[in-house]
Chains A and B, each alone.
Chain A
Amino acid sequence: MAEPTSDSPESPFLPIFETFRKEIDEHHERRERVIKASRDITASSKKIIFTLHRLRTIGQSLPDHIAKANKPYTTDIATKLTLIAPDLQGQNADRYSRQISSGLQEYIEAASFQYYLETGTLLTYATAASNVRDLCTGEAKVKLGYEDYILGLYDFTGEVMKFGITAMATSGTIPISGPGRTLLTDLRALRAGLEGVRFGGSPVAREVDKKAEVMRVSVEKVEKALYGLTVRAGERPKGWMPSDGDGGRGEGVEV
């Protein structure tokens, strides 16, 4: 770097920059803490989802072994949220919302998936927000933005699809989620609801568009699998799985 060659080696502007130094350091520290926590929350949420996929039915409370297996992950999420809650207060809630977003989305995906498997219904925004609040054991609470809730729901449709495909492949029927309802009618209702939500020109809109496309594919996968079940009803032994050769290219067996 260029050595100061002028007669006054000390820059007269240093005091000006000095005032920002602490503020900028603190900003980066907060930001990095939030990013780290967000990553950990994402990882733990994924593990919860993974365990939940061992279930085969909708509408029953979690068996002990599943609840037990997921306990450490839920604890981890609670710990991380509590840890960064003080970093997300006041102005900083929006300042670092992009950094915490992916963690919260993944948590919503896991929480709504579990809620759906237990009750056959959709976790509401109000309940999801209060869950997030309650996970923070300290005085400071993390606020769930509605954008993260919606983005989490999009990912949740993917889990419902996977769950449905596995259940159909192993049991030969589509899971029933309530009176007159199946996993597919629920998935369609979700799709209709989510597609009805219009984001203007906000930064979230692009993310939503991408996820909407994935969701449409998910719904179609279940529709194709159900079509396969209907067409071949009675001519296939229990436990048989669709394979290629029927134009489905094995799409129906995705795990």
Chain B
Amino acid sequence: MSVQNAMMESGLFEDLQKKIDEDTQVKDTLREIVQQLEKQDRATQAILSKAHSTPSAELSPVLQAAQSSIENEVQSIQRLAEVASKHPYYRYNYAWTREMQSAVSGKHDLLERRGLNTQPGHLLTLAEVTTLMQIPPIAPTTDSFHLTPEEYLQSLISLVDELSRLARNSVTLGDTARPLQISKFIKDVHAGFQMLNLRNDGLRKRSDGVKYRVKEAEDVVYDLSLRGLLPGQGKV
């Protein structure tokens, strides 16, 4: 240790650098997986986007493609879970939270679209969606990878955004029954959000938008009913 630098212990900054380097290594590993997930997710969203212009009768192959794309995502999520579970959960949470929200909303989206043809209006719970996507369940006392309530709720908002778009596009494709189902679904989700005391954070900002989606879907239903175009309304 040099005499003129007795101001600090030798190796003080080198030790700190070591800690930073360890952190950086973890982040690099995570980033590589998250980037892969993000790419796969974009593919899923692109397929689901195509579904906006596909009539119900021809929807099946599109949804099938979306399903296999989501299966790719599930594989990435499993790799992510394996690495992330080795580290304090919230330390690196920021690295994947957006991608996870998007991946989960894709799954919601797919199932809602399937459901709309058969049993409308089922909302996947957090436990259901994590099981479907093979995400480990929440374990508050360990650092195991999971989906947070905030991420789940964020994914619902993305779903609502997509559905309100689908309400209009269904009409264009000649399906006038869907907007009714969608309108009810969005209203029910909105009622759910109103139960939560959200403060000023990301979730609050985005959930404020849900009420506009309620209105958009209602407007579509209104337009249809005004013209006697709703199912069972028998044109005058």
Contact = CB atoms under 8 A, between A and B. Distances in A.
Interface in B131-180: 140-141, 143, 149-150, 152-153
A90 interface: yes
Contact of B191 (A4, A91, A181, A186): A4
A23 interface: yes
Interface size class of B (residues with CB under 8 A): 35 or more
Given A24-B198, A91-B90, A180-B3, A146 B192 contact: no
Interface string B76-92: 00000000000011110
A28 B143 CA distance: 21
B196 A20 contact: yes
B214 interface: yes
B75 interface: no
A1 interface: yes
A19 B149 CA distance: 9
Contact of B195 (A14, A149, A180): A14
Contact of A17 (B4, B5, B17, B196): B196
Interface stretch (A44-52, A66-74, A116-124, A238-246): A116-124
A190 B5 CA distance: 10
B120 to A, nearest CB: 11
Contact of A24 (B20, B94, B121, B197): B197
B4 A124 contact: no
Interface string A193-231: 110111111110000000000000000000000000000
Contacts of A1: 194, 211
Given A1-B211, A16-B125, A91 B140 contact: yes
Interface in A136-180: 146, 149-150, 177-180
A121 B192 CA distance: 58
A12 B121 contact: yes
B197 A25 contact: yes
A94 B91 contact: yes
A91 B211 contact: no
Nearest to B138: A23
A225 B149 CA distance: 56
A122 B8 CA distance: 5
A59 to B, nearest CB: 11
Contact of A92 (B3, B15, B90, B196): B90
Contacts of B94: 203
A178 to B, nearest CB: 6
Interface stretch (B35-43, B49-57, B64-72, B181-189): B181-189
Interface of A: 1-2, 4, 6, 11-14, 16-21, 23-25, 28, 32, 90-95, 97, 120-122, 124-125, 146, 149-150, 177-181, 185-186, 189-190, 193-194, 196-203
Given A17-B196, A24-B197, 17 more contacts: A2-B215, A13-B189, A14-B191, A14-B192, A14-B195, A24-B149, A90-B140, A94-B90, A94-B93, A120-B7, A124-B9, A146-B19, A186-B7, A190-B8, A194-B13, A200-B27, A202-B24
21 contacts: A12-B121, A17-B192, A19-B125, A21-B195, A24-B197, A24-B198, A28-B199, A32-B199, A94-B91, A94-B93, A121-B6, A124-B8, A124-B9, A146-B20, A179-B3, A190-B8, A193-B13, A200-B23, A200-B24, A200-B27, A202-B27
| Interface pairs A-B: 9 shortest CB-CB | A17-B192, A11-B191, A94-B90, A11-B188, A200-B24, A122-B8, A95-B90, A193-B13, A94-B91
